Amino acid sequence: MKISTTHKKFADRLWDQPVLEYPERFLGPNWKNVLNFWIYLDTLSAEDTDIIHMRYLVLGEDAIVYAENHDWKAARDTIGFTYADATCHITFTFPSIYTTLELIGSHNLEYLTFLPLFLKHKI
């Protein structure tokens, strides 16, 4: 299994528990999607990150807060507070933080708000 920079940071954040060997124990039933997303993050350029951040801001404050709260709750309900909180400290942008939470709890969400920001299309 390929280990992304973010996955390694997650393991470090959890004091090297067996996160690298058994990610499903820490990331819930959607762990493969989360790991694939983290690998994808390693491929983004600074320009890509800027575009994604602009897409995030275009959503507007009300939509962002609403989605962030739902994503946080869905992730917390899936993997618990400690692990959900740990994911919030391993990526450097709000879109990647909330996309991670969104993927973790995606089976409990009606729609995904932040993952589409990462798709390679024009604004």
Confidence check: pLDDT of 16 > 90: no
Distance CA(121)–CA(66), nearest Å, equals: 24
Question: Between the CA of residue 41 and those of 35, 49, 70, 79, 109, what are the distances in Å?
Answer: 10, 9, 22, 22, 22
The 3 state secondary structure assigned to 49-98 is HHHHHHHHHHCCHHHHHHHHHHHHHHHHHHHCHHHHHHHCCCCCCHHHHH
What is the total count of domains within the chain?
A: 1
Q: What share of the chain is helix, strand, coil (3-state, %, to 5)?
A: 65, 0, 35
Confirm whether 123 is domain-assigned.
no
Residue 54 and residue 123 in contact, taking contact as beta carbons nearer than 8 Å: yes
For residue 31, is it within any domain?
yes
d(Cα 114, Cα 5) in Å, to the nearest integer? 20
Q: Would you tell me how many other CB atoms lie within 10 Å of the CB of residue 64?
A: 18
Pick the range with the lowest mean pLDDT from 13-17, 31-35, 61-65, 102-106. Answer: 13-17
Task: Look at residue 106 and tell me if it is in a domain.
Answer: yes
The token duo for 68 is: 């962030």
Q: What percent of the chain has pLDDT over 90?
A: 72
User: Residue 123 has what pLDDT?
Assistant: 47
Q: Which domain holds residue 106?
A: 5-118
pLDDT confidence band for 31 (50 / 70 / 90) = very high
Given a cut of 50, whether residue 68 has pLDDT beyond it is yes
Predicted TM-score (pTM) of the model is: 0.91
pLDDT of residue 114: 97
φ, ψ at 28 (rounded to 5°)? 80, -170
Q: Is residue 83 part of a domain?
A: yes
